[in-house]
Amino acid sequence: MEEIATIAYPDGDSRILMVARKELLPSDARLTVFDGNTAPLFPDRDLECSLSLPPGETAKNWTSVERIINRALAVELERDGLIVGVGGGVVTDVTAFAASIYMRGCRLVLVPTTLLSMVDAATGGKTGFDFGGVKNLLGTFYPAHEVRICPEILETLPEREFQSGMAEVIKHALLLPEENNPLLVQIRDECEQIRARDPEALMKMIPAAVKVKADVVEADLRERGERAFLNLGHTFAHALEAATNFSRWSHGEAVAWGILRALDLGERIGITDPQWANQTRQLIASYGFDIVTPQVAPEEIKAAMSSDKKKKDGHIRFVMLKGPGQPVLQSVPESDLDAVLGIEKNLES
Ligand SMILES: NC(=O)c1ccc[n+]([C@@H]2O[C@H](COP(=O)([O-])OP(=O)(O)OC[C@H]3O[C@@H](n4cnc5c(N)ncnc54)[C@H](O)[C@@H]3O)[C@@H](O)[C@H]2O)c1
């Protein structure tokens, strides 16, 4: 086991570890939650003490929470007992939520099995599920006591899911300053190896990307407010996903599109260096993201933005980048947002 980071929360530490594949499942788990795609990856799992949810976002609901709690009761899980969530962000979010409310919180280990959950969802303590048609409406803050990561488990991950995680890796790399940024250097120089999931490349890239999230989360605990920067591209992305009913684009595709729009916006209002913005556009394209126009009316995307949770004083604020590692969070003139979304104004009306 190799420790990537330990985040010190007021209620205890959360350790993020790189482990060998055989060390992924803790031996003292009382209940392990999988989904239909992750359970078969562990043929030796203890069937008595495991539960498999249907795969995908539609299972991120109260029914799954109830199933986990019922199973916890059935296996007589006690307050100091351990629940483990093994899967992508859906399983890790919903399992962590159940663990946070079961007997006011039991022990929790997360085993992320998608690139996105490794570099993003499993770290940082946000739990939750979708309710009333609203994504992540209900949730708690409950960091896992341990997060166990092994890139080998990504071998079976479908290509589109791997690519989706790469959008978050790119985002993390852009949040670090240019100097002393081996993650950015690697994703620029080793695109081919990374896309081929070369084990050595992943063993280098994943801990570096996780460390960015862990550092930002830790800085936020000290109330420097930096966590909002992790939303780079996400105000646009959430609006695109909502406007297309969360069905057309993967989250990562939407995030890649969102980062591109944040670059356009920053360039337009004069804070983003145009040359660097172009290099970054090329970097994103090199990972196969090609949503140039999202095939949905820009007015619908803008309408979806108006319900964004990060609004302040009625204005939507966007994370933009002056350059690598120089994020800013600010509102923008509506005319600039319209221009970036491609909303044409009829000047005569
Ligand atoms: N808590 C947070 O801070 C946070 C951050 C980002 C995203 N999220 C949440 O994460 C969720 C998205 O996570 P995701 O992209 O991992 O989606 P997901 O959990 O739906 O996983 C994607 C698909 O990959 C399958 N899968 C998982 N691991 C596999 C493997 N190793 N081999 C083969 N198939 C595998 C799953 O069964 C599923 O079909 C969203 O609900 C989002 O809200 C949470």
Q: pLDDT of 83-120, one tens digit each?
A: 999 999 999 999 999 999 999 999 999 999 999 999 99
Q: Clarify whether residues 240 and 309 are in a common domain.
A: yes
Q: How many Cα neighbours within 13 Å face the side chain of 237?
A: 24
pTM over 0.85: yes
Q: Clarify whether residues 26 and 149 are in a common domain.
A: yes
pLDDT digits over 148-175, tens only?
999 999 999 999 999 999 999 999 999 9
Residue 170 in any domain: the answer is no
Interval between CA 171 and ligand 1 midpoint (Å): 17
Judge whether residue 345 has pLDDT over 90: no
Judge whether residue 279 has pLDDT over 90: yes
Residue 175 in any domain: the answer is no
Q: Clarify whether residues 25 and 143 are in a common domain.
A: yes
Judge whether residue 347 has pLDDT over 60: no
Q: Clarify whether residues 37 and 134 are in a common domain.
A: yes
- Beta carbons within 8 Å of 5's beta carbon, 6+ residues apart: 15, 16, 123, 210, 211, 214, 215, 218
Q: Which of 97, 129, 157 is the last residue of a domain?
A: 157
Judge whether residue 240 has pLDDT over 80: yes
Identify which has the larger pLDDT, 272 or 344.
272
Q: Which of 94, 125, 157 is the last residue of a domain?
A: 157
Interval between CA 16 and ligand 1 midpoint (Å): 18
Q: Cβ of 186: how many Cβ atoms within 10 Å?
A: 19
State the Cα–Cα distance between residues 56 and 43, nearest whole angstrom.
21
Tokens of 90: 């859906």
Total domains in the fold of the chain? 2
Q: Clarify whether residues 148 and 245 are in a common domain.
A: no
State the Cα–Cα distance between residues 90 and 117, nearest whole angstrom.
9
Residue 292's pLDDT is what?
Answer: 66
Residue 219 in any domain: the answer is yes
Residue 182 in any domain: the answer is no
In whole angstroms, what separates CA 132 from the centre of its chain? 22
Q: Is 222 a catalytic residue?
A: no
Q: Would you say the CB of residue 52 lies under 6 angstroms from ligand 1?
A: no
At 133, the pLDDT band (50, 70, 90 cuts) reads: confident
Interval between CA 161 and ligand 1 midpoint (Å): 8
Catalytic residue among 60, 107, 231, 261: 231
Judge whether residue 311 has pLDDT over 90: no
Evaluate whether 228 touches 262 at the Cβ level (below 8 Å).
Answer: no
State the Cα–Cα distance between residues 12 and 17, nearest whole angstrom.
16
Residue 264's pLDDT is what?
Answer: 97
First to last CA, the chain: 65
Q: Would you say the CB of residue 253 lies under 6 angstroms from ligand 1?
A: no
Q: Cβ of 325: how many Cβ atoms within 10 Å?
A: 17
Catalytic residue among 161, 168, 218, 267: 168
- 142: three-class secondary structure by DSSP: coil
Q: What is the CATH number of the domain that holds 281?
A: 1.20.1090.10
Q: What's the domain range around 73?
A: 2-157
Interval between CA 116 and ligand 1 midpoint (Å): 6
Looking at ligand 1, which atom is closest to the CA of residue 55? 37
Q: What is the CATH number of the domain that holds 123?
A: 3.40.50.1970
Mean pLDDT estimate for the chain: 93
Q: How many Cα neighbours within 13 Å face the side chain of 317?
A: 13
Looking at ligand 1, which atom is closest to the CA of residue 37? 37
Q: Clarify whether residues 19 and 141 are in a common domain.
A: yes
Q: Would you say the CB of residue 164 lies under 6 angstroms from ligand 1?
A: yes
At 349, the pLDDT band (50, 70, 90 cuts) reads: very low
Judge whether residue 179 has pLDDT over 90: no
Q: Is 213 a catalytic residue?
A: yes
Residue 108's pLDDT is what?
Answer: 98
Residue 162 in any domain: the answer is no
Evaluate whether 274 touches 281 at the Cβ level (below 8 Å).
Answer: no
pLDDT digits over 28-87, tens only?
999 999 999 999 999 999 999 999 999 999 999 999 999 999 999 999 999 999 999 999
Catalytic residue among 60, 204, 213, 261: 213
Residue 46 in any domain: the answer is yes
Tokens of 327: 């994020």
Q: Clarify whether residues 144 and 49 are in a common domain.
A: yes
Judge whether residue 348 has pLDDT over 60: no
